[in-house]
């Protein structure tokens, strides 16, 4: 997708096809399709990827993450990641989102290189595993050498606002060799400030609102997740109006 230099690219993180469709309606340029966002996002089903591709005309990136928790993967988990990249490619994804580290907090160069080669010609983003590295500038240069297209980062802080200084330094050091995409609690109220402080041209956000279940019968004795019955009957969905407002604020 070709964009003008002054255009802010808005990627929306979603965990369902319906949310992806709402993101497109709101003016997103791209979605990152995930499952299990409570764990920070894991690989979605092949059915979800295929249907999203059918329903969407915007960019579709798929997270390749076999489980929640850390980013140190076993041999079996790595094989799962390789197969999931193939599934994403077969189902028409435009890109994949990966992240894999070594025990010492460096980028796992060999495995990241292998996943990147398998993914081509799709775009490759290295996700917030980057924020768990011991030295962000060392990690930056490693990912550039591997040929990764994009780094998703909150500046190694909980939010983009707190990590804005480091994000800006990464943009400066990258000097166009790799795209730095900011994330971490980015909303309509702060997106413009984050762009000014960091110099990023790509933003990653959610735009969720709470959606009450349509169930009229509710068994108060059984819990599918935590012991909070209300949470069992409420879920987060992407709101097109929220995305539209974020899109407008980003380009003021």
**Domain 9-208+239-250 is in which class?**
alpha beta
pLDDT, tens digit, 9 for 90 and up, residues 132-159: 999 999 999 999 999 999 999 999 999 9
CB count within 10 Å of CB 111 equals 17
Q: State the pLDDT confidence band at 227, using cuts at 50, 70 and 90.
A: low
For residue 205, give the H/E element and its range.
Answer: strand 202-205
Q: State the pLDDT confidence band at 2, using cuts at 50, 70 and 90.
A: very low
Tokens 């990258």 correspond to: 174
Percent with pLDDT over 70 in the chain:
96
List Cβ neighbours of 63 (8 Å cut-off, separation of 6 or more): 32, 33, 34, 41, 42, 43, 44, 96, 97, 127
pLDDT, tens digit, 9 for 90 and up, residues 161-191: 999 999 999 999 999 999 999 999 999 999 9
- At what angle are helices 240-250 and 191-198 packed, to 10 degrees? 40
pLDDT, tens digit, 9 for 90 and up, residues 54-65: 999 999 999 999
pLDDT of 4 strictly over 60? no
Q: State the pLDDT confidence band at 218, using cuts at 50, 70 and 90.
A: confident
Nearest-angstrom CA–CA distance, 108 and 227: 38
Question: What own/partner pairs with CB < 8 Å and gap ≥ 24 does 15-20 have?
Answer: 15/41, 15/44, 15/236, 16/48, 16/237, 17/48, 17/51, 17/52, 17/55, 18/237, 18/238, 19/237, 19/238, 20/52, 20/55, 20/56, 20/60, 20/238
pLDDT, tens digit, 9 for 90 and up, residues 39-85: 899 999 999 999 999 999 999 999 999 999 999 999 999 999 999 99
Sign of CA dihedral 112, 118, 121, 122: negative
Nearest-angstrom CA–CA distance, 93 and 121: 10
Instruction: Delimit the domains of the chain by residue range.
Output: 9-208+239-250
- As a residue count, the chain comes to 252
Which tokens go with 74? Answer: 């076993």
Under 8 Å between Cβ of 62 and 97:
yes
Of residues 93, 153, 142, 159, the one with CA closest to residue 120: 93
């Amino acid at each position: 997708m070709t964009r003008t230099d002054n255009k802010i690219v808005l990627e929306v993180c979603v965990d369902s096809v319906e949310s992806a469709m709402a993101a497109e309606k709101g003016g997103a340029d791209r979605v990152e399709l995930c499952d299990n966002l409570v764990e920070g996002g894991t690989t979605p089903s092949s059915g979800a990827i295929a249907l999203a591709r059918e329903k969407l005309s915007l960019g579709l990136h798929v997270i390749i993450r076999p489980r929640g928790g850390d980013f140190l993967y076993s041999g079996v988990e790595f094989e799962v990641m390789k197969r999931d990249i193939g599934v994403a490619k077969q189902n028409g994804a435009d890109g994949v989102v990966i992240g894999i580290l070594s025990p010492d907090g460096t980028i796992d160069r060999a495995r990241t290189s292998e996943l990147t080669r398998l993914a081509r010609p799709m775009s490759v983003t290295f996700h917030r595993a980057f924020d768990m590295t011991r030295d962000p500038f060392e990690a930056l240069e490693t990912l550039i050498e591997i040929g990764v297209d994009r780094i998703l980062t909150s500046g190694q802080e909980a939010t983009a606002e707190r990590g804005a200084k480091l994000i800006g330094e990464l943009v400066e050091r990258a000097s166009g060799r790799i795209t730095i995409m900011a994330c971490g609690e980015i909303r309509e109220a702060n997106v413009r400030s984050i762009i000014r402080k960091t110099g990023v041209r790509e933003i990653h956000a959610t735009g969720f609102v709470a959606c009450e279940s349509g169930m009229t019968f509710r068994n108060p004795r059984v819990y599918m997740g935590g012991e909070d019955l209300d949470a069992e009957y409420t879920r987060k969905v992407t709101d097109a109006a929220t995305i539209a407002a974020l899109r407008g604020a980003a380009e003021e």
